[in-house]
Amino acid sequence: MSLPHAKSESYRIFDAIAGRYDLINSVLSFGLHRLWRRAIRRSLPSRPGLTVLDLATGTADVALELIRSPRVDRVTGLDMSQGMIALGRDKVQARGLSQKISLEVGDAQRLPYAAASFDAITMSFGIRNVPDVLACLKEMHRVLKPNGRTLILEFALPQSRIVRAGHLFYLRHVLPAIGRMLSGHATAYTYLNQTIEEFPYGQDFTALLQKAGFEKVQFKNLSFGIVNLYRGDKL
């Protein structure tokens, strides 16, 4: 099998591992991914009747979390991988939520939506995979309504030297081995490790959000700083 390495091809890796993605996610995050998704839901704007766009929605776990909020009316999920979207659709249908969640195949850098369409946009562990990060953030800003909010979950490196050293050991040595075993894919989880170490986080990422036009930009560390939740508003 030829293995895509360029970010523009990263969705193909997700196509290849889609059937095992949820299991691997639970194992590699020790179940913490549930807490991280909950943190997104709790940071949504406080008004009712929200329509939310979830980018890089994958198998729709974030979309399914968001719709649990009484403030959310509808969620649209978008992802480049047909395989991930197909699994997501099965999950949405099995929960009887097809009227409230719709899933579409598409590119987060070129959103097929009119300006000012959504009250909130979420993206969980997706922005790292997008080749043109700034283009994607600008698109998010464009399709947000005024008073809208974007919420982005992404991996980071902890500030504490000891926690950081332990986490880097996990990322470089443990995670690729477990990922390879569970996915049956030679490089999918090596790629994960490389992208986490290279991707801007903390103030470097909030600077990109500001460059894309977001205001009141902030972030908070989750799980000792191995993940950050970024927030930016469109005024």
Interface with ligand SAM by CB under 6 A: which residues? 10-11, 14, 25, 56-58, 61-62, 79-81, 84, 107-109, 124-126, 129-130
Q: Nearest approach, Cβ of 188 to ligand SAM (angstroms)?
A: 10
Of 135 and 157, which CB lies nearer to ligand SAM in the complex structure?
A: 135
Of 216 and 220, which CB lies nearer to ligand SAM in the complex structure?
A: 220
Least Cα distance to 80 among 18, 153, 147, 137 occurs for 18
Please list, in sequence order, all residues whose beta carbon lies within 8 angstroms of the beta carbon of residue 208, skipping any fewer than 6 positions away: 133, 134, 137, 200
Q: Nearest approach, Cβ of 42 to ligand SAM (angstroms)?
A: 16
Q: If you ran DSSP here, which 8-state letter would residue 173 be given?
A: I
Q: Nearest approach, Cβ of 199 to ligand SAM (angstroms)?
A: 12
Q: Environment class of residue 65 by beta-carbon count within 10 Å: exposed (0-12), middle (13-18) or buried (19+)?
A: buried
Of 24 and 50, which CB lies nearer to ligand SAM in the complex structure?
A: 24
Of 129 and 150, which CB lies nearer to ligand SAM in the complex structure?
A: 129
> Phi, psi (5° rounding) for residue 98?
-65, -25
Calculate the alpha carbon distances from 191 to 16, 29, 34 in Å: 14, 16, 23
Task: Give the span between the Cα atoms of 218 and 160, in whole angstroms.
Answer: 20
Q: Nearest approach, Cβ of 20 to ligand SAM (angstroms)?
A: 13
Q: Nearest approach, Cβ of 184 to ligand SAM (angstroms)?
A: 17
Q: If you ran DSSP here, which 8-state letter would residue 218 be given?
A: E
- C-beta nearest to ligand SAM: residue: 58
Q: Which two tokens stand for residue 10?
A: 């990263």
Of 23 and 165, which CB lies nearer to ligand SAM in the complex structure?
A: 23
Of 29 and 221, which CB lies nearer to ligand SAM in the complex structure?
A: 29
Distance of alpha carbon 94 from the chain centroid: 22
Q: Nearest approach, Cβ of 161 to ligand SAM (angstroms)?
A: 27
